[in-house]
Amino acid sequence: MSRQEREQLDQILRHGEFDIGGDVDEQRVIFHEMISSLPLADDIVTTPGELGGVPVITVGTPGNDPSVVVLYFHGGGYALGSARDSVGLAADVARRVGARVITVDYRLAPEHRYPAALTDAVAAYRALLDSGVPSSQVAFVGESAGGGLVVATLVALKEAGLPQPSSAAVFSPFVDLTLSGASMKTKAEVDPALTPDGLRRRVGDYVAGGDPAVGTVSPIFADLTGLPPLLIQAGSHEILLDDATRLAARAAAYDVLVQLQVWPEVPHVFQGFAALLDEGAEALDSAAAFTKAHWTAG
């Protein structure tokens, strides 16, 4: 059954209108419509607000513990997506972890280039700490560019002398904006969602004429010493596979407690298709167990 699910999802992604490198205004609408086509469960409660002047949406599910918080960062190549678009996946995380999830509506490129997204991420976390939530009761989760932003934020927190959260889990993280991973070429034919040219256009939007190898743009090149326990998940059918595997190796080299999980023959951010794909549900269960274990340890 799983092979049939994988093949069905592959065809859906290949023949959809979404194009990561397409016109920003058009693709934001298409991305939103694609995400909105998946109905939310009736028991999900969303509450708009702000943290540190940054718009956020708090996602609640039945029985969650408000004393523990997942700070969530959506994907979209730093130019697409929103906190609202991430609610479905954030709610899947909330339900499994048993915590409230706050998804951050960080500013997007090209209107707001680097370091706007990073500044917003740090501001939201700082405000959460200032509200009285201890860092040991906060975890980060992010997908795609949001996964890259998670790791970049951890690096920025270290540089600012702020305490690290209890753990971080990243799904298909985009951590090398120089696009130097070998899988950019070796996985291009099997990736149904992303293309190197598309990502290159989004990188240009985000960094403009800046250096994409800066550690808080591409944390694959950063000093990762002192980062919290890190879970990295990816699919083998995505051009960002080497971002995930090299990030795991880099974190291990800097003595970070790291787990790498790669599911075969599934696409970019397959966790978002947990309703259609067994592997997506398995990955979310694993991420939740990882997150809860480090809250307990903290």
**Residue 110 preceded by cis peptide, ω within 30:** yes
Residue by residue, what is the 3-state secondary structure of 29-93? HHHHHHHHCCCCCCCCEEEEEEECCEEEEEEECCCCEEEEEEEEECCCCCCCCCCCCCHHHHHHH
Q: Which residues contact 63 (CB under 8 A, 6 or more apart)?
A: 98
Give bridge partners of residue 73 from the DSSP assignment: 104, 142
DSSP secondary structure of 114-136: TTHHHHHHHHHHHHHHHTT--GG
Residues acting as catalytic residues: 144, 238, 268
**Neighbour-count burial of 7, counting CB atoms closer than 10 A to its CB (0-12 exposed, 13-18 middle, 19+ buried):** exposed
Query: Where do we find the tokens 């909330």?
Result: 94
